[in-house]
Amino acid sequence: MTSGGIRDNLGVDAGVSVHSRREIPPMLTDKAIRALKPKEKPYKVADGLGLHLRVQPNSTLLWRFKYRLAGKEKLVALGKYPEVS
């Protein structure tokens, strides 16, 4: 294994589904996050491998992580952006 992090070391050993590199969206940058505008309804912006930002109509940005455990989908709230980044 190289030291390139989870994005470089995808596989069953890491407990992550195997994806080809071209299926993983690029990571969100601070500039891209700050440019997100609220809409009438909440929406998600993917950061990759289940991590996403939920953009609320009141402009709140919430980090969420979606994963599967024993075949069941789970969702973990990680906190608000920029407090959690």
Characterize the bridge pairing of strands 72-80 and 43-48: unpaired
With beta carbons less than 8 A apart as the criterion, state whether 75 and 64 touch: yes
Tokens 């590199």 map to which residue? 21
More confident residue, 40 or 19: 40
Residue type, 43: Y
Residue 35 is encoded by which pair of tokens?
């440019």
Task: Determine the pLDDT at residue 26.
Answer: 79
Q: How far is Cα 66 from Cα 73, in angstroms, rounded to an integer?
A: 7
Taking only the tens place, the pLDDT of each residue in 22-68 is 566 678 999 999 999 999 999 999 998 899 999 999 999 999 999 99
Q: Is the pTM of this model over 0.85?
A: no
Q: Alpha helices of 26-78 — where are they, by DSSP H? A: 30-34
pLDDT band at 14 (very low <50, low <70, confident <90, very high): very low
Q: Which CATH superfamily is domain 26-80 in?
A: Integrase, DNA-binding domain (3.30.160.390)
